[in-house]
Structure 1
Amino acid sequence: MAELGPLVYNQAVQDAHQFMQDKLGDLESTLYEPETL
């Protein structure tokens, strides 16, 4: 198990990073208001 620990941890960090990037992208498109001139 000691050999798998870092691999599993790193994958979890990558998965969490991707999840947050996806959510932030959704948030940006949801909150965007076009400027009116």
Structure 2
Amino acid sequence: MSVELGEGDVILAIKANAFRRGVTLAAMVNSQGASGRVAW
């Protein structure tokens, strides 16, 4: 299966990936109770 991505799609995918990573990181920090809250 080959999927052709436009430049905009690639940027969107990278942003979505970075956002997910950021949310995961925030959740990990929050669960460790570093400060108890995450600044957005």
Query: What is the TM-score when the length of structure 2 is the normalising length?
Result: 0.67
How many pairs align? Answer: 29
Q: Could you say which structure has the larger radius of gyration?
A: 1
Q: CA RMSD in A?
A: 1.3
Structure 1 segments of 4+ aligned residues over 3 angstroms from their partners: none
- From the two aligned structures, give the one with the greater helix fraction: 1
Task: Mark the runs of 5 or more structure 2 residues left unpaired by the alignment.
Answer: 1-5, 35-40
Query: What is the TM-score when the length of structure 1 is the normalising length?
Result: 0.72
- Identity among equivalent pairs (%): 3
Task: Mark the runs of 5 or more structure 1 residues left unpaired by the alignment.
Answer: 32-37
